Amino acid sequence: MSRPVRLEFAGANYYISCHAIDGLPLFRTDDDRAVFINILGSVTDQFQWILHGYVLMEDHYHLMLELDRTNLSRGMQQLNGVYTQHYNRMHNRSGTLFRGRFQNLVFEKKNCLLALYRHMVLNPVRSGLVSSPEEYIWSSHRQMAGQTAGHEFVNCRELLLQLARSQSQARKKYRDYVQEGLLASALRSPLDEKRHQVLLGSDRFIEKVLPLLKQSDKSGSGQRSLKSGNHRQTLAVIFSNVNGISRLERNLLIMRAHYEYGYALADIGEYLGLHYTTIRRVVNGKN
């Protein structure tokens, strides 16, 4: 099987796995884990990722995050590179620490965020490290469940809003949902449903993203949009008549600029004089 294509586009949601080489422990001490989380927070802020959650295992880690810009590879390079420098300095070694490229799955947030999140935070239980996810402090589960303050760079809002408008009610539903997964010994992994090696979602989502994947496969680069290079229209052209159209028509242009031409949400908002959250609501079909 050929190596999966690296697919990057603004608005994409990723489930990421990254392993140490040759069975090395990726985290030898709790200090290592704390340092990694601090680096993760810095990278999340620097690259303006929306980090839904994480879990640190013995020889690998998982992240769930959303992009506003096509900077996943650059951000991951910094995350792993800075941590490798710490690890080698602290443990008197040299050379690479991570095994090849990080693995990533592009998923549909609306239909897959909850199931993937539960799968991620139950990793320590499936591996026999703990008997329940509440016992494991090196993941974002307890923060999502409302059992600890956690970290500001972890965005719990996106997932909780899928469960309920009230935060307390949403956190209870989240805890119940994870508990159901813990009790369901025969629960299938959502990763079993992935398609084209790197996509997970509804037929409609796959149909929308597949052209990007095919372009990336041909070009050898995942940092593509449906229109790129000389064929990419400027924001001025896309919104040339924005003042003379309806709000619905404007929203359709916003979605086109984001999904078809790959413009970052912040750039669209700045051009139109609209707040970033307004643009996000539009592309998520909530405005």
CATH number at residue 137: 3.30.70.1290
Contacts of 126 (CB under 8 A, 6+ apart): none
Q: Residue 198: inside a domain, yes or no?
A: no
Same domain (yes/no): 235, 133:
no
CATH number at residue 268: 1.10.10
Same domain (yes/no): 43, 116:
yes
Same domain (yes/no): 242, 189:
no
Same domain (yes/no): 233, 178:
no
pLDDT at 1 over 80: no
Query: How do residues 97-121 score in pLDDT, each as one tens digit?
Result: 999 889 999 999 999 999 999 999 9
Q: Residue 212: inside a domain, yes or no?
A: no
Domain limit, last residue, from 141, 168, 193:
193
Contacts of 231 (CB under 8 A, 6+ apart): none
Q: Residue 83: inside a domain, yes or no?
A: yes
Q: What is the mean pLDDT of residues 238-251?
A: 86
Same domain (yes/no): 143, 248:
no
Contacts of 73 (CB under 8 A, 6+ apart): 6, 8, 222, 223
Same domain (yes/no): 40, 169:
yes
Q: Residue 106: inside a domain, yes or no?
A: yes
Percent of the chain with pLDDT over 90: 60
Same domain (yes/no): 66, 189:
yes
Same domain (yes/no): 230, 151:
no
Annotate 22-51 with b (16+ C-beta within 10 A) or e (fewer): eebebbeeeebbebbbebbeebbeebebbb
Q: How many domains, the chain?
A: 2
- pTM for the whole structure: 0.75
Q: What is the mean pLDDT of residues 172-176?
A: 97
Same domain (yes/no): 118, 162:
yes
Query: How do residues 205-225 score in pLDDT, each as one tens digit?
Result: 999 888 888 776 655 544 444
Q: Coil, strand, or helix at residue 256?
A: helix
Give the type of residue at 3.
Answer: R
Same domain (yes/no): 155, 242:
no
pLDDT at 193 over 90: yes
What domain range includes position 257?
226-287
Q: Residue 274: inside a domain, yes or no?
A: yes
Query: By the 8 A CB rule, do 145 and 53 touch?
Result: no
Q: What is the pLDDT of residue 137?
A: 97
| Six token digits for residue 256 | 């086109």
Same domain (yes/no): 36, 156:
yes
Q: Residue 199: inside a domain, yes or no?
A: no
Same domain (yes/no): 267, 157:
no
pLDDT tier at 51, thresholds 50, 70, 90: very high
| Six token digits for residue 78 | 């910094």
